[in-house]
Structure 1
Amino acid sequence: MAIDYGISGHVAVVTGSTSGIGQALAAALAEQGVNVILNGFGDPAKIEADRRDLQARTNAAIRYHGADMTKPDEIADLIDYAVREFGRLDILVNNAGVQHVAPIEDFPPEKWDALMAIILSSTFHTTRAAVPIMKAQGRGRIVNVASAHGLVASPFKSAYVAAKFGVVGFTKAIGVELARTGVTCNAICPGYVKTSLVEAQIGDQARSRGIPEDRVVEEVILAAQPNKTFVEYDHLAGLLLYLVSDMGASATGAALSVDGGWTAT
């Protein structure tokens, strides 16, 4: 039985939504009748084909904006675009992310800067632009896709862990700051989802550790998850829909784990 979350006609911006988790979350919103602004890099023809397909499948209005998450001016225009197209902004999902795995002594400074810009600073810039719009409406939902690595650490991921810890801290600060405005801010902290990003990490970890990829999956990637199972997109989408609906009105400033028990141990 399908659940109606009461968000049909709302407008959402989902960063990093041309693939992986972001694409799945954008689809979940569109399936509820939410008009969605997609964002991310990739092959333009594929992005357009995916946009058309999602619009046809859901009858929601789906748009695309190619803002570079390292460029504050482009990020500001992304948020403005939602208002230009639809006259409002109800939901902001900060999901854009990249990864680089290396020992700290070999970690390229330019990779550190890129991860900080795309994961952490972009979350600040989108939120800064969206909050006045949401405050004026008297309602808004900001959901930051953090990570289990926003709560606990792993080796060889200094920049990613630092950025995701920053996202969780930022989420708490904004949740408290906006607590009486009707605007909520929460973080979803997934364990490992088998995205293309994670598949690339398997290879990177194998090279860094000098072990085969199948051992990386068993002994490294899923070693910390007691259920030994990759997180499914639907598990994240269900939590997102709760948070952006009226049912999630009292959840704010929270970092919510979906990690098979990883951070419980």
Structure 2
Amino acid sequence: MNKFYWLFSMGIQKSLTYRVNYVLSMLAAGFPILLQWVFWQAVFDFSQTNQMYGLTYSEMLTYVTLSALLSQALRTGFEYDIAQDIKNGGLNRFLVQPISYAGYRFASFLGNNLTYFICTLILMNISLLLCHLYLGLDLSLSQISLFFPAVILSLVMQFLLFYLVSMMAFWLQEVWGLFESVRIISLVLSGGMVPLTVFGDKAMQWLEFMPFKYIIFFPLQIVIGKLAIAEIMQGMLMQCFWSALLCLVAMLLWKRGQKQFLALG
């Protein structure tokens, strides 16, 4: 436990050292938010309707703002480090030491992202308040309080998804294309670009069988008040289910990949 706490602490120190990166990433997120606001304002003005794709004007602008911020908060990058460990033999030291590689990566990931994650949640709360004051968005304490555990589960799911994908480095020579493809697909299918309702009812039915919607779309549905308490509880159970399934598959791939790694020397 002390080992993982040390790794977690080192990750926090590293994130604080490179805090300018966070400021730049948030500034970079501001431009897409502005474009989304201009786009949806034009769409609502042109359609002369109060609601589109199940969201009102204020809910849509709130959604695209929070989705851009949450997408930044959930960004990974450790998958490239895992691929380097596998390709360059750095994995050897973990195979002979009494430490879980997955635990090492998770502790480092939390340490590296916790400060940014908390800062982003603060920004999201400020954005919610502004949307409430200037756009008339309805808010309740119950929505906000249930939003936080859902976002924490989203962070766990995001880690497990990319940890699983990084296991492909045991069998693939080049993984950059795979990682970026999964990142883009996950961003779109999780609702990080636009609300998933934009894709229609058929697509929504298919997405029920995938983990992506529970990473961004589901938590944001909570905070803008689109889900009843029973639906929120069911959604959180699905987040736990997908987390367990992703973890199980990642463990199986790790065991098979470890054999491949040892066989190749």
Q: What TM-score does the superposition give when structure 2 sets the normalisation length?
A: 0.31
| Greater relative contact order, per chain length (Cα 8 Å cut-off, separation 6+) | 2
Greater strand fraction, Structure 1 or Structure 2: 1
Greater helix fraction, Structure 1 or Structure 2: 2
Q: What TM-score does the superposition give when structure 1 sets the normalisation length?
A: 0.31
| Larger Rg, first or second structure (1 or 2) | 2
